[in-house]
Amino acid sequence: MRPVAVDLFSGCGGLSEGLKQAGFDVRVAVEIDEETSKTYKLNHSETIMINKDIKKVNHQEILESVQGNKIDLIAGCPPCQGFSKIGNLQKKGYDDERNELILEFYRVIKEILPDFIMMENVPGLRNYEKFKWVVDELKSLGYFIDYRVVDIADYGVPQRRKRLVLLGSKLQLIQIPDKINLPTKTVRDFIFHLPKPKESDDPFHKIHSSHSKKIEKIISMIPRDGGSRKELPKKYWLECHKKENIGYSDVYGRLSWDKVSSTITGGCMNPSKGRFLHPEENRSITAREAALLQTFPQNYQFSVTKKVSLAQMIGNAFPPKFSEMQGKYIMDILKQSKVWAETTNRKLNN
């Protein structure tokens, strides 16, 4: 029997996809957004979806959904948009009510007490007083805890993306794996094989940005395979890019075939939001290319086709390959543990 997992704040299913690849049986997912939960169900029909605010989810509802089976892992990515920029802990970050959701994550763990926990979030959260409080409380519940900021490019994901990861175990000391001993995966490894969007029968590979003739000309002049807008003659720079000390130097930049991509964000099909131009073609990356760079399977389906909503859904997702690596690490500990070896009846006693 496979270990049982619950995915809180599941989004469109990236974390669940990775855990399933690692061998977990993801029995329950919780997601407040109706449209996002539809995408989840398209790809994970066997998982029970609780489509409501986690504040209204009673732990008994989760236990009933797993039909009395022991829950081995609770995982999730509680939204904390107030800390989305690394190290940016301004007052507005503290005041963002979504940051309180980390307390709901803790509440469910306290009520169910799984053997393992996994949490992923933005790096800035590590300095948040309520995160530190949650860590202390988890330790008081008997969990061994490790958390650190890592770059997911070190774990088989073809993307530069720094995230705060927390792992916890009731069984033994636990340590977030260091860099996986694998060759760095690149943009070429994940999207080079795709046909041109016009030649594809994949509707999500046909979705990408469209531009005015002026912007199309600028894009066409940006050097192939990693070129930047800064390499253009200044007469072709947009007015907003001519100001001194302007940030976001990656905007209107091309991805490089043999490097990792920039972070896939909610603006991943808009080249004015980052380095999201195709390495060779004069367009942004498509929805399918963005999803592949997030390491979703090529047949992963989405419930929306509106460009902005689709990009947001993909950019907000947990890259499956990253959760698979963490999941395999937990799986190895679990299967080697005395608790797992001696458990012949996986039903709860209470």
pLDDT of residue 90: 47
**Which backbone phi and psi does 256 adopt, to 5 degrees?**
-105, 135
Give me the residue label for tokens 């099909």.
269
Q: Per 3-state DSSP, what percentage of the chain is helix, strand, and coil (rounded to 5)? A: 40, 15, 45
pLDDT of residue 229: 80
Phi-psi region of 140 (alpha: psi -120 to 50; beta: other; left: phi over 0): alpha
Which residues participate in catalysis according to the annotation?
80
Does residue 331 sit in helix, strand or coil? helix
Query: What are the C-alpha distances in Å from 198 to residues 73, 205, 278?
Result: 43, 9, 15
What burial letters (b/e) apply to 1-40, b meaning 16+ CB within 10 Å?
Answer: eebbbbbbbbbbbbbbbbbbbbbbbbbbbbbbbeebbbbb
Q: Looking at the structure, give the CATH architecture of the domain made up of residues 187-315.
A: Alpha-Beta Complex (3.90)
Could you tell me if 106 and 144 are in contact, meaning their C-beta atoms sit under 8 angstroms apart?
no
Q: In whole angstroms, what is the distance from residue 301 CA to residue 151 CA?
A: 27
Query: What tens-digit pLDDT sequence spans the chain (350 residues)?
Result: 899 999 999 999 999 999 999 999 999 999 999 999 999 999 999 999 999 999 999 999 999 999 888 999 999 999 866 555 534 444 444 455 556 899 999 999 999 999 999 999 999 899 889 999 999 999 999 999 999 999 999 999 999 999 999 999 999 999 988 777 778 999 999 999 999 999 999 999 999 999 889 889 889 999 999 998 877 766 666 666 656 555 556 788 999 999 999 999 999 999 988 899 999 999 999 999 999 999 999 999 999 999 999 999 999 999 999 999 999 999 999 888 766 555 545 554 34
Domain spans in the chain, listed from the N-terminal domain onward: 4-177+319-339, 187-315
- Residue 117, strand partner residues: 74, 168
**Which fold, 4-177+319-339?**
Rossmann fold (3.40.50)
Phi-psi region of 124 (alpha: psi -120 to 50; beta: other; left: phi over 0): alpha
The pairing of strands 48-50 and 73-76 is unpaired
pLDDT of residue 191: 98
pLDDT of residue 107: 96
Global model pTM greater than 0.95: no
The pairing of strands 116-121 and 162-169 is antiparallel
Q: In whole angstroms, what is the distance from residue 263 CA to residue 123 CA?
A: 14
pLDDT of residue 89: 44
